[in-house]
Structures are given as C-alpha cells and as structure tokens.
Amino acid sequence: MEAFSKTPNKLLGQTSPYLLQHLYNPADWHPWGLPALKKAKTENKPLLISIGYSACHWCHVMENECFEDQDVADFMNAHFVCVKVDREERPDVDHVYMNAVMIVEGKGGWPLNCFALPDGRPFWGGTYFPKKTWLSVLMQINRMYNENYDALLQQAESISLATSSSRVPITVDVEPFTLDHTLRFFRNVLSKVDMQEGGLKGAPKFPTPSVFAFLLQYHHLSGHSQAIEALTLTLKKMAYGGIYDQIGGGFARYSTDAKWKVPHFEKMLYDNAQLISLYANAYLVTQENLFRDVVVHTLKFVDEELTTPEGLFYSALDADSQGEEGIYYLWTEKQIEEVLGEDAALVKNYYGVGGKGFGEKGRNILLRSTTDEVFASGCGLSIEEVRQKLESAKNALLSERKNRVKPATDYKIIVSWNAMVICGLLDAHKALGDEKYLQYALRAADAIIQKAISPQGQLLRNLTPGSEPIGGFLEDYAWLCKAFIMLYESTGHLRYMHMAADLARYAETAFSNKGTSMLSFAETKNTDLPEDFFEIFDTVIPSSNSVKAHNFFVLAHFFDNALWAERSQQMLKDAFSLARDYSANMTHWGSLLLRHVFPFYTLVVAGADASAKATNARRTYAPNVLLAVAEKEHSDLPLFMDRYN
C-alpha cells in the first residue's frame, strides 16, 4: 500500500463515526445525497455506493485492504462517483441497495458495495471483497459501463421489477382470523426453533427477540407448553453462552456458531434493548432468577457504556480494538490466574476456561454450562459461597479489563433505538419493581420530546450533536409511539398517550400511499431514493409496519377510533397473506394476530387513588390487556366517560 496524505475527502463535516472513519481515505467519498447524484449525472459515471456501520469488523477489514490503498482509490475516483453511507443513519438507502444485492447474489451483509446508474438505480453488487477481487470487479464494471451500457440498464430494470413487491404491497381480503390460524402460525414458528441449543436452527445464530416474544405471548394465551419450553431453553442457552458478556453484561450482535459460543463481538443498542424486554417479561412469567440477573446486568452495561450525559443512548460498541476482533473480551488462563490468585481455579472451571471456552491463540471466551446451584454442589460449596466468590472475581476481572484498549463507541443517537431502550426500561421496571428504571425511561423520553419533535409533529432520526438533520423514518415514529403508550400505562400521565396519538396521525398522513394499507418507510414527499419501499418482514428488529399496526390496535381501543382498528386489521390481513410462508420473519405480525383472535381487554382504573390501585396490574405480564388509569375526570375521552365516580 502506498502512503497517502492526510487530506480529507467529501465526508468532512459529517458526524457519523462510520463516515468519519473514512474521512482520510484516498478514495474520494461523498455522503449520500443530491450533490453526489448530480455529480454522477454530470460526469456520466456510475455510482459506487458502499454501506456499513462503525462497529462492523469486515467493514474495517475492507477499508484497510481496499479504500486506504492509493492505487485502488485512484481507479475508484477516476471511474466512479464514490458514496459512503452509514446504514444506521440512512436505513432507507441501505434497504434499497441491500434488496438489490440480495437479488443479484442471493445473500447480503455489510460492508455492502453496490453499483448503480447515475440516477441511483442499482445494477450489481456484493459484500466484502479482498483487494485483488475488488480491483477486478471495478475494472469489469467500468468496461461494461463504457462498452455495454444497455446490458446494465436492462439489469437495473430487472432488479427494479423484482423489488416491486416491497414497494407496493397488495391489499388483500382473507377469511376471518380464527384460533386455527394462531395454532398453524405457532406450529410453523416452532418448526424453525432449535430445540437442542435454542434460537432458530442453524448458524450463525442471531438473537431474534420478536420470535420468542411471540412464543411467550402464545403460551400466556393458549397455555401451550412447547411455547414456553422453546422460550426458556433459548434464553438460558444465550445467557450461558459467549454471546452474553459474562462479566460485563450485554449481548453481542450474533454468534458465529450454532451453540452461542463465539460471538461477533460488536454490541448493538437495539439488540440489548429488545433483549431486556424479552428477559424481563420472561422473568415475570417464570420467576427464573437467571432472567432477572440478565436484565439487571444488561441494563448496567447500557447505563455505564452507552448512556449519554443527558440520559439518551449511543448506538454501539465496536467489535474490534487494537485492530483485532474481540481481544478486549478474551482471557488466557495465565491472565486469569494473575488477577484472581487462589480463586482462579474455581472461576476457570465455572467459565469453561481451558475447556469449553478455549479458542484461538490460547484465548478463552467466558461462558457457562450449568446453574449456580448445580455448580456449587459439584464444588462442595454452598450457593452463597460460590456467588460471593464469583461476584468478587467478576469485579476483579472487570477492573483489569478496563485497563485494556476499549472498543470504540458509535456516538450516534438514533430515535427509534432510544425508544426501544425506553420500552426495555419500562418492562424492567414492571418486572423488577426498581423505580430507577422508570426514572431513566422518563428522562430519556423527555430528552427526545425536547430534541426530536418539531412543533408540526415531525420527528428527527439522529440526535447526535452537530449532525445534519435527517427526518425520522417510519421506524422512528412507530417505536416512539410504542414507547409513549408504554409510558402512559406505567405512569397514568395522559400526555404520553396523546403524544402517541399525535405521532400516529402524523405518520398516517406523511407515510400513507394509495392502494395499500401499509405505510412507506420514508416520508413520500421527502425521499431522495430512486424508489419507495415498504418494510414488512421482521428481522432482528420487528418491521416498522408491524410495530405501527400494533400501535393502531392499542390506540383504537383507547380513543374508540374505528378507523385505526380497521387499519390495524387490514395491515394484518395484508401481512398475513405473506406470513403463511414466512412465519419466522413475521412473528411481530403473529403477536398482533394473537391480539385480534384472543379476547383483548381494557382495564380502566379511575379515581383519586387510581395509580396506587393499578400497581398490581402494572406488575403483571398481560399482553392482551390495555391498562387505562385516570386520577381525575376526563370527559373528553370516551374510555373514561361515566367511570370516574
């Protein structure tokens, strides 16, 4: 690699840590936007759109091998308009080009590198490329663009046609939903679950909170034992595995193997927020102490590592430090012995050091194999003695770990992900009764209200200080609306429910399209993309339309709004026409199906001491109940009419 000068490219002035990582690449990166598109049209060059995020290990690898290489950069600059995109800032851009690559290659991931016509329409792409392959790809694309443009145009049109179903979902009419629908949906979901190791079958294993939240809800409503078995198996296996930071709390993004052992070490806010909710609700139902401990320690991780001074939340911790993935979290036997002395043998046994946890270069991933009770019995110690020794060892190892080079923090503040944390905090408060979690949720909500919502009701997506304003996407409106609904149920403060309704009304106006019940992902009047799209399928995060459909369902009950009730049902019908074949990717829709089929209740508590009387209800897992609390008369709301006295 030739040396290059420290001259910034067109990313100067951006605030995204991912974009700033590429600021001094010799590749002349532009941020996504109309100036880059205009340059491509003016110079008649194809767009090279490279997408990733700051915590991504393979993004770092490709940057080092390709984008920091002067020869590679010179070719890129001469023949392409190069655009860098943070997928977390612009999930709409990521979706369009990820869809294209999925169609071309049959798989996707990050870094995502997609080639497009000057108007933004994609025609080919892939994920990670080593230097030699990348140079070959660049040369072939350049030759095709100059010598066989019509073939690329035809390819772009074919991709556009193939992705049309995600742009305009068809409104359908299906038979009325019945208990048989829920049973068939459950069986389909269960068939995808690994009943030996938990999670979904195969590897890599991602935490999929919406899948197991559906199973918990189905068990609660139907009493089906296999649903709770699949849930508890998964939560225990994850909590015992290397994917969970055994001494620091919090979950990595996924496990590279089928047994949750070897994590991809980046820690994402959205994963941990949703898993806090899942473990908290599972604790409410099972009273399994392990689940409570995971909630406490994961929230401690979020508080210490990802919380801003004003009580909002950063996006992620990097997978790498010192140029190597995971080294911050790994231990040799010698390191543990030096830190723990005479207790090292017990701790090594507990965490599988030298055995189950052994990995590359003599380093170990800390993980567990059994309960504290079984482990204590095998050691001939009392459970209290074991836990005391382990707590002391954890503190010592954490103290030592803090002397290492810490993975970088992605300091972006994303509204939807912050709303997920608010939901997690409220679920933790409900399950554990710790008032500080409620106070953290209220503090974060107040900061979002002050910073993210305009007087006209429009949301911002990115609250990072100094960042260029980016309008909120449907995901931001949906999750913040859900957080406000939960805040109302937790506090009885009506302003939160009214703010939820305001967000729902704004989203209906700004994201609706004729001919479909679904809402587009970006505001239709503001999009700078070559095509619109609709997010329907659940991934690690439930789809924005499924979250919004849940919101419409709840708000319809609270405000006695028949139009919202009809919209929620129609969205479910349209989704369910797909869910028969994609149940594991539609489980948040499945949870809405359960709400529509099983009885749904509104529990109204009204009177001067209503909040105190509602305490027990707030401490109960009840996904088929809306809790409405009023300590004074509200004659303008039909729900409370004639109930106060």
The pLDDT tens digits of the residues spanning 81-132 come to 999 999 999 998 998 899 889 888 888 889 999 999 999 999 999 999 999 9
631 has pLDDT over 80: yes
Measured distance CA(111)–CA(56) in Å, rounded: 8
Q: By CB neighbour count within 10 A (0-12 exposed, 13-18 middle, 19+ buried), where does 421 fall?
A: buried
Could you tell me if 325 and 417 are in contact, meaning their C-beta atoms sit under 8 angstroms apart? Answer: no
The pLDDT value recorded for residue 640 is 87
CA-CA-CA-CA dihedral for 572, 573, 579, 583, to nearest 10: 40
Phi, psi of 186 (to 5 degrees): -60, -45
Measured distance CA(84)–CA(542) in Å, rounded: 26
What is the secondary structure of 197-255 as a DSSP string?
T-SBSSSSB---HHHHHHHHHHHHHH--HHHHHHHHHHHHHHHHSTTB-TTT--B-SEE
Could you tell me if 593 and 186 are in contact, meaning their C-beta atoms sit under 8 angstroms apart? Answer: no
Estimate to the nearest angstrom the gap between the alpha carbon of 299 and the chain centroid.
16
User: Span 172-201, mean pLDDT?
Assistant: 91
User: Span 38-62, mean pLDDT?
Assistant: 94
The string of pLDDT tens digits covering residues 285-336 is 999 999 999 999 999 999 999 999 999 999 999 988 888 899 999 999 999 9
Binned at pLDDT 50, 70 and 90, residue 283 comes out as: very high
Q: By CB neighbour count within 10 A (0-12 exposed, 13-18 middle, 19+ buried), where does 384 fall?
A: exposed
More confident residue, 456 or 621: 621
User: Per DSSP, what are the bridge partners of residue 81?
Assistant: 47
What is the secondary structure of 242-272 as a DSSP string?
TTB-TTT--B-SEESSTTS-SEE--EEHHHH
Percent of the chain with pLDDT over 70: 96
More confident residue, 634 or 590: 590
Within a 10 A sphere around the Cβ of 374, how many other Cβ atoms?
11
The string of pLDDT tens digits covering residues 475-506 is 999 999 999 999 999 999 999 999 999 999 99
Measured distance CA(248)–CA(132) in Å, rounded: 40
CA proximity to 278, closest of 216, 236, 327: 216
User: Span 131-157, mean pLDDT?
Assistant: 95
Q: What is the mean pLDDT of the chain?
A: 92
Binned at pLDDT 50, 70 and 90, residue 3 comes out as: very low
The pLDDT value recorded for residue 525 is 62
The pLDDT value recorded for residue 168 is 59
E strand map for 112-182? 112-116, 122-126
My answer on whether omega of the bond before 111 falls inside 30° of 0, hence cis, is yes
User: Span 529-543, mean pLDDT?
Assistant: 86
Binned at pLDDT 50, 70 and 90, residue 162 comes out as: confident
Of 3-17, 104-118, 414-428, 431-445, the range with the lowest mean pLDDT is: 3-17
169 has pLDDT over 80: no
Mapping DSSP to helix (H, G, I), strand (E, B) and coil, where does residue 45 land?
A: coil
User: Span 269-292, mean pLDDT?
Assistant: 97
579 has pLDDT over 70: no
The pLDDT value recorded for residue 401 is 96
Going by C-beta distance under 8 Å and a sequence separation of 6 or more, which residues neighbour residue 539? Answer: 585
The pLDDT value recorded for residue 450 is 96
442 has pLDDT over 50: yes
The pLDDT value recorded for residue 52 is 95
The pLDDT value recorded for residue 1 is 39
Could you tell me if 207 and 266 are in contact, meaning their C-beta atoms sit under 8 angstroms apart? Answer: no
The pLDDT value recorded for residue 524 is 67
CA proximity to 254, closest of 539, 584, 546: 539
The pLDDT value recorded for residue 635 is 67
Binned at pLDDT 50, 70 and 90, residue 268 comes out as: very high
The string of pLDDT tens digits covering residues 356-407 is 998 888 899 999 999 999 999 998 899 999 999 999 999 999 999 999 999 9
Going by C-beta distance under 8 Å and a sequence separation of 6 or more, which residues neighbour residue 270? Answer: 416, 417, 420, 540, 541
User: Span 615-638, mean pLDDT?
Assistant: 88
Bridging pattern class, strands 112-116 and 47-52: antiparallel
Measured distance CA(474)–CA(522) in Å, rounded: 6
The string of pLDDT tens digits covering residues 339-360 is 999 999 999 999 999 999 988 8
